[in-house]
Amino acid sequence: MRYDEQVDQLTLLGSLRGWWKQNAARHGAGAALRNFCGELWGYLRESTPEQRRRRYGDIEYDWEHRVDTTSATLDWRARLLGVFHSPYQATEPALFQEMMAALRVDFAEFLFIDLGSGKGRTLLMASEYPFRKILGVELLPELNQIAQENLRKYSSADQKCQVLESICGDACEFQFPAEPIVLYLFNPVSESGLGRVIGNLERSLIENPRRVLVLYHNPEHEEMLASSAKLKKIGGTHQYAIYEAG
């Protein structure tokens, strides 16, 4: 992707244009218009004072660790961009612990990657496990900046990994490092975008065969993983799915 294309997709007009192109091509102009109206209505509904107070329900983690990872403090632009890319949602700590326990691996052998890492809560929670390194990839610069600040000031007696990084980039263009990976996905991209992510992962596995675990939280498009010749489902619940390659 050219630099000017990447900048354009982060503007509201560019994001709308890209969203419309994808939806119209996949579903037709009429269905795309209906989808747009539905997304816009959802955005307006979430903008009410009552819904904003509801979003503050996930702030307990922030109070405990003195960080800013809640979705309640997002400004209108970041939330609207989320309509066209992927809305920011912070992972619930208890569920993250459940998912980590379900992996049943030696974390020290793996690099942890969160595509669509937002403000970095998942990166912070992952640091309580002895991963070799923890990496987040976030499309929106304003969220990535907040994540970097959270990583800088985070302190916990339970922290077992000290090597944390958050970078600004497009998850669909991310090139996977040639090492064992735990890949965390919380619907960071559209269905077509997820197809590109899985395609990139498959090519990486062909070039460098290794063990990769994909942890898919709230698996809205699980069929994209299930159809991959390189991935096999090994566990999960209605809240998440675990796939393995290697």
- Between CA 144 and CA 20, with CA 192 as vertex, the angle to 5 degrees is 85
The 8 Å CB, 24+ separation contacts for 99-108 are 99/215, 99/217, 99/240, 99/242, 100/126, 100/129, 102/235, 102/236, 102/240, 102/242, 103/182, 103/213, 103/215, 103/242, 105/182, 105/213, 107/131, 107/182, 108/132
Q: Is 194 exposed, middle or buried (0-12, 13-18, 19+ CB in 10 A)?
A: buried
Residues with Cβ within 8 Å of residue 123, at least 6 apart in sequence: 112, 114, 117, 134, 135, 136, 147, 151, 164, 166
Cβ neighbours, 10 Å, residue 2: 7
* pLDDT, position 36: 61
Q: In terms of Cα–Cα distance, which of 177, 178, 196 is closest to 135? A: 177
Residue 143, SS3 per DSSP: helix
* CA separation, residue 27 to residues 35, 50, 96 (Å): 10, 33, 34
The 8 Å CB, 24+ separation contacts for 31-38 are none
CA distance 36 to 234: 36
Question: How does pLDDT run along the chain (246 residues), one tens digit per residue?
Answer: 433 344 345 566 666 576 557 766 777 877 766 766 766 666 556 656 565 555 555 788 898 999 998 876 666 566 555 555 566 788 999 999 999 999 999 999 999 999 999 999 999 999 999 999 999 999 888 899 999 999 999 989 999 999 999 999 999 999 999 999 999 999 988 888 899 999 999 999 999 999 999 999 999 999 999 999 999 999 999 999 999 996
Task: Please report, for the chain, the start and end positions of each structural domain, with discontinuous segments joined by +.
Answer: 3-84, 93-245
CA distance 16 to 24: 12
pTM of the model: 0.76
Distance of CA 161 to the CA centre of its chain: 20
CB of 127 within 8 A of CB of 161? yes
Strand arrangement of the beta sheet that strand 232-236 belongs to:
164-168, 133-138, 111-115, 181-185, 212-217, 240-245, 232-236
Q: In terms of Cα–Cα distance, which of 114, 81, 111, 115 is closest to 196? A: 115
* pLDDT, position 78: 61
Q: Which class is domain 93-245?
A: alpha beta
Radius of gyration (Cα) for the chain, nearest Å?
18
* CA separation, residue 212 to residues 17, 29, 195 (Å): 34, 38, 17
Length of the chain, please? Answer: 246
* pLDDT, position 38: 63
Token duo for residue 3: 């630099």
